[in-house]
Amino acid sequence: MRRLGRAAGRAATRPVTGLAAMTVLALTASGCVTVHGELEVVPSATKSEAEQALTDFTEAYNKADKANDPALDAGRVTGALGAINQAGLKSRSVTSPQGNAQHKPLELADASFTIPKKAGWPRWFVADTDSNRDTDGGAGDNRWLLVFVRNGADQLWEVAYLTILAPGDIPKFKTDKDGWAEAAAPDSAALSVAPKNLSEEYSSYLHSGKPEHFAAGAHTSLWRDERRKLANRLGLSTQYVDQPLDSGDFAPLGLTTEDGGALVFFATRFYDRQTAAQGYRPKVSPDVKALMTGEVKSTITKEWVSNQAVRVEPAGADADQVTILARLQGVTSAAGS
């Protein structure tokens, strides 16, 4: 990882929310982006641009979180994080319309940036930060990785993925002599699983247990076990439907690691449908009810968006080709019937 400098002080930020601001960047001949450089392989951002994007995100997130107003950070989040964040704020705007009485500004400090060189749009980079959401204050605190994406020179940097990892789970990234990282191609044959296939294959795995190249763990085998236990409880049955979510701002993004593998961020969508026995109704929490259409008579169907960070082994690995390191998910809509 190329450490491009620490944020001055502790930037006020908070983790699952959005952004809003517009900045037209001056493009210089020596900068990372050229006006007609869509086909040129260049760094996706400058150090100062990455630092400013993190600051802008943090400010917008905190304003939205304090006011419970999704409009205040809608321009600074997109993709999986955007869907989760905006739905959460929408829900809280109904349950707590006067604002967030428990608001504590998010602070993201000790920031370093991994910036890949690539051609064309979107351009993107990863900010590795220390959040004040960890309470022990020690060196072993989790790190918050935010994936910033921009689809054009006249657009804002938006956060598409948020992942929270232990420092030891963050791999060493492959960099060139100048410290720029290498993006993993969506269709890469150098990896045991191409990034573009991860969303579809993970959705298939959760449904059927195949393909079998996902390593056992909390987000794979244990989650399937949990679903089986919840499928048929006394008076309540639960069904799951998993779907890939891999186009536009939900497309997977990956960084090549020193060992020839990659750290990849990708998204999925799933539904859980709870049906109560005759004479009963499924319980609906206030935050889900705020996002619900229809009336719960016997069934509630919740739509979730989930973002995953995974370690993908190099091509040729014969087992545990994909290890899911972290998963962040949230309800984005609900329907009663």
Q: What is the pLDDT of residues 252-265, one digit of tens each?
A: 999 999 999 999 99
Q: What is the pLDDT of residues 54-112, one digit of tens each?
A: 999 999 999 999 999 999 999 999 999 999 999 999 999 999 999 999 999 999 999 99
Structural domain span for residue 248: 184-337
Q: Which band of pLDDT confidence, cut at 50, 70 and 90, is reported for residue 250?
A: very high
**176 and 203 inside one domain:** no
**330 and 191 inside one domain:** yes
Structure confidence at residue 326 (pLDDT): 97
Q: How many CB atoms lie within 10 A of CB 135?
A: 7
CA distance 124 to 144: 16
The answer on pLDDT for 271 being more than 60 is: yes
**Residue 270 DSSP one-character state:** E
> Of 160, 181, 202, which residue sits at a domain end?
181
Q: Which band of pLDDT confidence, cut at 50, 70 and 90, is reported for residue 38?
A: low
The answer on pLDDT for 136 being more than 80 is: no
**230 and 91 inside one domain:** no
CA distance 84 to 1: 28
Structure confidence at residue 331 (pLDDT): 98
Q: Which band of pLDDT confidence, cut at 50, 70 and 90, is reported for residue 140?
A: low
**64 and 174 inside one domain:** yes
Structure confidence at residue 304 (pLDDT): 98
**229 and 164 inside one domain:** no
> What residue type is assigned to position 42 of the chain?
V
Place of tokens 């998010």: 106
The alpha carbon torsion through 311, 313, 314, 320 (nearest 10 deg) reads -160
CA distance 108 to 74: 19
Q: Which band of pLDDT confidence, cut at 50, 70 and 90, is reported for residue 135?
A: low
Structure confidence at residue 25 (pLDDT): 25
Q: At 307, is the secondary structure helix, strand, or coil?
A: strand
Which residues lie closer than 8 Å to 92 by C-beta, 6 or more apart? Answer: 68, 100, 287, 290
**174 and 75 inside one domain:** yes
The answer on pLDDT for 290 being more than 50 is: yes
- Per-residue pLDDT, averaged over 44-48, amounts to 95
> Of 148, 181, 214, which residue sits at a domain end?
181
**208 and 98 inside one domain:** no
Residue 227 token pair: 């679903």
- Per-residue pLDDT, averaged over 327-332, amounts to 97
Q: Which band of pLDDT confidence, cut at 50, 70 and 90, is reported for residue 26?
A: very low
- 239 forms bridges with which residues in the sheet? 273
Q: What is the pLDDT of residues 145-197, one digit of tens each?
A: 999 999 999 999 999 999 999 999 999 999 999 999 999 999 999 999 999 99
- Per-residue pLDDT, averaged over 200-224, amounts to 97
Q: Which band of pLDDT confidence, cut at 50, 70 and 90, is reported for residue 234?
A: confident
**246 and 336 inside one domain:** yes
**HSE-CB of 239 using CA atoms within 13 angstroms:** 7
Q: Which band of pLDDT confidence, cut at 50, 70 and 90, is reported for residue 243?
A: very high
Q: Which band of pLDDT confidence, cut at 50, 70 and 90, is reported for residue 319?
A: confident
In the chain, the number of structural domains is: 2
- CA-closest candidate to residue 165, choices 330, 327, 3: 327
Helices (H) and strands (E) in the chain, counts: 5, 15
> Of 161, 181, 201, which residue sits at a domain end?
181
**103 and 41 inside one domain:** yes
**9 and 155 inside one domain:** yes
**249 and 146 inside one domain:** no
The answer on pLDDT for 119 being more than 60 is: yes
- CA-closest candidate to residue 88, choices 157, 14, 5: 14
Q: What is the pLDDT of residues 5-25, one digit of tens each?
A: 333 333 333 333 333 332 222
> Residues for the chain: how many in total?
337
**147 and 233 inside one domain:** no
